Structure 1
Amino acid sequence: MSGPVIEALAGSPDLAARYAAFRDAAHDALGPELVEAVRGAVAEVHGAPVEHAPGVAPEAVLAFARRMVFEHTAITDEEAAAVASELGEPGLVALSVVAALADAECRARAIDLPGLASA
């Protein structure tokens, strides 16, 4: 998988590989269907039209992912506990990473980070 962050890191292959390994480990922890649902929820917050596959992710998980974009400091212990009860503690950590990186990818795309990096 590529994306604007990996593309922007093209001039630093070691850093790009480390970023990709970190991202892939978080993705592996959640599984491809849940990762796509989370990435879609985050993209939707950024204004991208997204089709939802029903039943792929519990609503508590998607709500958490959406809040990570602009309200991460307002996520309550109860919201985190609801996600942990769905995914377990390691899943909660992986979800946080996947949502944060999906947010970074959306923001990098919006400012054309690859173009800025190569300028």
Structure 2
Amino acid sequence: MNGPVAAALAGSPALRERFEVFRSAAQEALGEELTAQVERVVAQVHGLGPEMQGGIDSAALAYARRIPFEHTAITDAEAAAVIAELGEARFVAFSVVAALADAECRAEKVRLPSLAAG
């Protein structure tokens, strides 16, 4: 897997491998299509991706859009709607995928791999 966080971990192969295994497990649990949609939505919020075509038509994608800058304002009702849409186990995977997508975007914006290289 690629990405600025994994690249920044290049100096620690064991840690990078564990990170990639963790990320891959969350993505696999969520599913390829929804993972890609969540990553695109989060990147777009950060100004790093193209606008998604069409409106956000699911509670999960609307929720993902709020994670980078509005996560403390997400209500229990909004979380419950995503759990109802995805199920509890996929909601956990969704939360991990969205958080890691946010971290990747932030790492890209500050050029983390070059900072880690010193």
Which TM bucket (shorter chain)? Answer: over 0.9
Q: Cα distance, 1:49 vs. partner?
A: 3.5
Post-superposition CA distance 1:71-96 (Å, at most 9, x none): 11111111111101110011111111
Match of residue 41 from structure 1: 41
Q: Which moved more, 1:12-21 or 1:46-55?
A: 46-55
Aligned partner of 1:17 in structure 2 is 17
Q: Is 1:8 aligned with 2:4?
A: no
Aligned sequence identity (%): 60
Deviation of the 1:54 alpha carbon: 6.0
5+ long unaligned stretches in structure 1: none
The TM-score normalised by the length of structure 1 is 0.92
Alpha-carbon distance between aligned partners in 1 of 2:111 and 2:12, rounded to the nearest angstrom: 17
Secondary structure, in 3 states, of the residue corresponding to 2:87?
A: helix
Instruction: Provide the rounded CA distance (Å) in 1 between the counterparts of 2:89 and 2:77.
Output: 17
* CA RMSD between the two structures: 1.6
- 1:1-119 aligned at under 5 Å gives the runs 1-52=1-52, 58-119=57-118
User: Structure 1 CA distance, aligned partners of 2:10 and 2:48?
Assistant: 26
For 1:53 and 1:23, how far apart are their aligned partners in 2? 26
TM-superposition CA deviations, 1:78-115 (whole Å, max 9, x none): 11111011100111111111000000000000011000
Q: Counterparts of 1:16 and 1:58 in 2: how far apart (Å)?
A: 35
